Chain A
Amino acid sequence: MKTNQQNYFEEIEVGNIIGPKIINIDRKQLVMYAGASQDFNEFHYDDEVAKKAGHKGIIIHGALKSAWLAQLMIEFVGVEGNLRQFNVSYRGVDFPNENLKYYGRIINKFIDNSMGLVEIELSLENSEGKITTPASAVVELPIKNN
């Protein structure tokens, strides 16, 4: 589906895929996110602390992964739509310098109170194709013939 111009409720079909996008970030980006989000837990930038916590090295902030998935939704709904609900579950940790893939799939659409609502299943996969971060969203899309 388009993420660079306005999507309308009528154009969306169940099964449509949003994305995928591939992201591969470095330690610097994690440090930037730590600063920007005020999350200074050291296992996001200090390998020794991450290893003590049982990881192979520094891990990506769960909230940063959720920010990417939310960004995908904001691009999908465009300026006329809204992100209404967003649930994200961190089942597995992810690491910098690995290709991560994320995408959405339309699973339902319905009209409620003259608003076009769309349910989306979201996934973020690690480089081995394992979904580490399943998520879901309910978004509102504009209706063309309103």
Chain B
Amino acid sequence: MADKDTITDEMRSFIGLKTDPKSYIVEKHSVEHFATAIGDQNKLYFDEEYAKEKVGGLLAPPTFIRKFKPNKLEKNFPDPFSNLVDGGSSYIFHNKIFVGDEITVVSFLKDLFIKNGSFGEMMFKISHTSYTNQHGVLVAEQEITTIIYGKGEKTFLS
């Protein structure tokens, strides 16, 4: 019942809509900044000689790709709530991601449902994102659960 009330046909129409592909270069200094920000000093991200010898080149940390945001759809999703929390992620890593790679990102909304929890009525948005490198190889997939809730002043960026 709650689903019917809160999830409109317009919201449902977003399910399955793919974003236009957006491509990013995995830049050396961007990887260094990211690794430093997570407190990771692994030489595979910093030491070119070492990384080349061990794995064939400098790598990006697994969750680095998350910063490669997909394009937005033409229309904004009509968020019915004011607050947002990140519910979690499921990653599949198919191949290593190297510094210098060009990664193309495509995302779509996979599912939408309502649950009642500690913040009252909450909307769960499940999105799927694929990351493909310059050789056309799918390197990773991420499924993100975003939870929105509350009726106050909006506190997140869309």
A residues whose Cβ falls under 8 Å from a Cβ of B = 23, 25, 29, 32-33, 35-43, 49, 52-54, 61-64, 66-68, 70-71, 73-75, 79, 82-90, 93
Contact = CB atoms under 8 A, between A and B. Distances in A.
B91 A85 contact: yes
B11 interface: no
A62 to B, nearest CB: 4
B89 A66 contact: yes
A67 B38 contact: yes
A44 to B, nearest CB: 11
Interface string B106-132: 000000000000010000000000000
Binding site of B, secondary structure by majority: helix, strand, loop or mixed? mixed
Interface string B77-103: 000000111111111110010000000
A38 B157 CA distance: 12
Contacts of A39: 67
Contacts of B30: 36
B150 A33 contact: no
A41 B156 contact: yes
B137 interface: no
A138 B142 CA distance: 15
